[in-house]
Structure 1
Amino acid sequence: MSASGGVGVIGVIAALMAALPHSGAFNIHPAPYRVLTHSGSSSFGHQVLRLQDDRLLVGAPVGPGGRLFSCHVEHGDCREVELDANVTRTNLGMALTHWGRDVIACGPGWSRPCDRNVQTSGICVLIGQELRPIRSLQPGYQGCQRGLVDLVFLFDGSSSMSPAQFGAIRDFMVDVMEKLENSSIRFAAVQFSSDIQPCFSLADYAAWPRPRDLLKGLMQLGGLTDTFTAIKYVVHQTFSEAAGSRPGARRVLIIVTDGDATDSDTGGVRDAEERDVIRYVIGIGHNFNSPDTARLLEPIRLGRRIRAGAGRIRAPPGAVPRAPGQDLRHRRHE
């Protein structure tokens, strides 16, 4: 650039500066910042809400529990807001907001037992100007919906069952009932072979829910395997209000057997369908590998209400299965 050109640019800049209004320069001196901390909570500061009088409401929703702190900005001190002990276990302080002159603090972790499960929902606390809880709020609260279930074990006690298999069935029933003893499930047990032997009813279990006592002295019946006759008995007798069945309860029938039935269906399966009895079959022994056995069991376990197929419990070593398709009406039982 030429010298004359440079002088011209400088002149233009000088003219513009002269035309601008005069202003004074100043320096910015910010006030010292304040760090607010609390050693007792790693989540301190997850949510912050400004209050009156230079105060802050600080949420610490995670470990231990849910806590709120009132912090004075000028002094730099924080004190914990006193809350109900049950509320502090709900991750309170996950959300903070104003409600007029008051404050609402919320947390999502309100857990409570419900029929052997844990039900979780949110809970909020309305806090007044003096930072004292006014009342709890329960948005979207849903009470414990207990699913009533009447469950009947119909188990095989025919002569084709080995003593080890029969003992395994008893242990299985006891284990299931003990694990679900604090639930809304009510149990009953019926042994079948050529005969039918009710072990205990739904009402018996409701009066004394001690499965080991209820099955004490259980002996194997022996005989044939009249499965369909037993199903009809359970549908009409065991699942009756007189025997302790509850109106509105879901009815579940668990059939434990080692294979082929020795009788024919005379309407028991149809009656189970009409009464919405959900049926499961648990097979014991090697006979369940037979296509013929699977075909014969289809009417028992299938239907519009069925939600599961047949299961299998392995037979103990040395158990002798029945021959597939064998007509047990003509078999000698010892």
Structure 2
Amino acid sequence: MGSAALLPLLLALGILHNCCEAYNVRLLEAKIFSGPSAEQFGYAVQQFVNDQGKWLLVGSPWSGYPANRTGDIYACPVGTPKTTCNKLNLEALINIPNVTEIKEDMNLGLTLIQNSKTGGFLTCGPLWAQQCGRQYYATGVCSEISPSFQILRT
């Protein structure tokens, strides 16, 4: 490649490099939410708005570790100076009637998706299992959560 052809290539790379650099906005006013790293706090994150304000929903699929990894979701308030998050304790509320559930290590919070139809969100625990006789069937479980953080259905 000749030097005449190299110059436009280097200019294009320089322009491309400058336009693709990462940046942060309003760094001085940044809010930092932290949680237990051993519980994989922050695995999934979703912005969320309801009647109570603006939130950052944070998945923590190993919540309960080391005893087990049932997992859970934290709601972190964005519109206030508060930087602590509230654990929603969904792992205790999720249940399917007339089923012998195995919730240990279900990893609730690996999935976190907004539901535009209900205004709430969906979270899943892919390793939730049910027991039938002596057999365990790990089918996973998903729960639809209302805008007020109540379980609508599982």
The TM-score, its normalising length taken from structure 1, stands at: 0.30
How do 1:194-273 and structure 2 match up within 5 A? Answer: none
Deviation string, structure 1 residues 156-194 (Cα, Å, up to 9, x no partner): xxxxxxxxxxxxxxxxxxxxxxxxxxxxxxxxxxxxxxx
How do 1:86-165 and structure 2 match up within 5 A? Answer: 87=94, 89=104, 90-100=106-116, 101-136=119-154
Q: Using a 3 Å threshold, how does the CA distance of structure 1 residues 107 and 129 change in structure 2: closer, same or farther?
A: same
Structure scoring higher RCO (CA < 8 A, sep ≥ 6) equals: 2
State the match for 2:32 in structure 1.
Answer: 35
Larger Rg: 1
CA–CA distance in structure 2, aligned partners of residues 122 and 29 of structure 1:
40
CA–CA distance in structure 1, aligned partners of residues 136 and 38 of structure 2:
26
1:67 aligns with 2:67: no
CA–CA distance in structure 1, aligned partners of residues 26 and 122 of structure 2:
37
- Secondary structure of 2:85's counterpart equals strand
Query: What amino acid is aligned across from residue 86 of structure 2 in structure 1?
Result: R
Count how many residue pairs are aligned between Structure 1 and Structure 2: 109
Task: Find the partner of 1:81 among 73, 78, 88.
Answer: 88
Q: Using a 3 Å threshold, how does the CA distance of structure 1 residues 135 and 41 change in structure 2: closer, same or farther?
A: farther
Query: What residue ranges of structure 1 are gaps of 5+ in the alignment?
Result: 1-27, 137-334
Task: Find the partner of 2:47 among 45, 50, 62.
Answer: 50
CA positional deviation for 1:66: 1.2
CA–CA distance in structure 2, aligned partners of residues 76 and 117 of structure 1:
44
- Secondary structure of 2:138's counterpart equals strand
Deviation string, structure 1 residues 258-313 (Cα, Å, up to 9, x no partner): xxxxxxxxxxxxxxxxxxxxxxxxxxxxxxxxxxxxxxxxxxxxxxxxxxxxxxxx
CA–CA distance in structure 2, aligned partners of residues 48 and 29 of structure 1:
20
CA–CA distance in structure 2, aligned partners of residues 106 and 133 of structure 1:
12
CA–CA distance in structure 1, aligned partners of residues 40 and 114 of structure 2:
21
Contact 2:71/2:91 (<8 A) preserved: no
Q: Using a 3 Å threshold, how does the CA distance of structure 1 residues 126 and 97 change in structure 2: closer, same or farther?
A: same
Query: What amino acid is aligned across from residue 32 of structure 1 in structure 2?
Result: E
Q: Using a 3 Å threshold, how does the CA distance of structure 1 residues 63 and 79 change in structure 2: closer, same or farther?
A: closer
The TM-score, its normalising length taken from structure 2, stands at: 0.61
CA positional deviation for 1:85: 1.9
CA–CA distance in structure 2, aligned partners of residues 133 and 82 of structure 1:
11
CA positional deviation for 1:111: 1.4
Identity %: 26
CA–CA distance in structure 2, aligned partners of residues 103 and 46 of structure 1:
16
CA positional deviation for 1:84: 5.1
- Secondary structure of 1:118's counterpart equals strand
CA positional deviation for 1:40: 8.0
CA–CA distance in structure 2, aligned partners of residues 112 and 39 of structure 1:
28
- CA RMSD, Structure 1 to Structure 2 (Å): 2.3
Contact 2:39/2:61 (<8 A) preserved: no
Query: What residue ranges of structure 2 are gaps of 5+ in the alignment?
Result: 1-24, 65-69, 95-102
CA positional deviation for 1:63: 4.1
CA positional deviation for 1:32: 3.0
CA positional deviation for 1:86: 6.5
CA–CA distance in structure 2, aligned partners of residues 39 and 63 of structure 1:
8
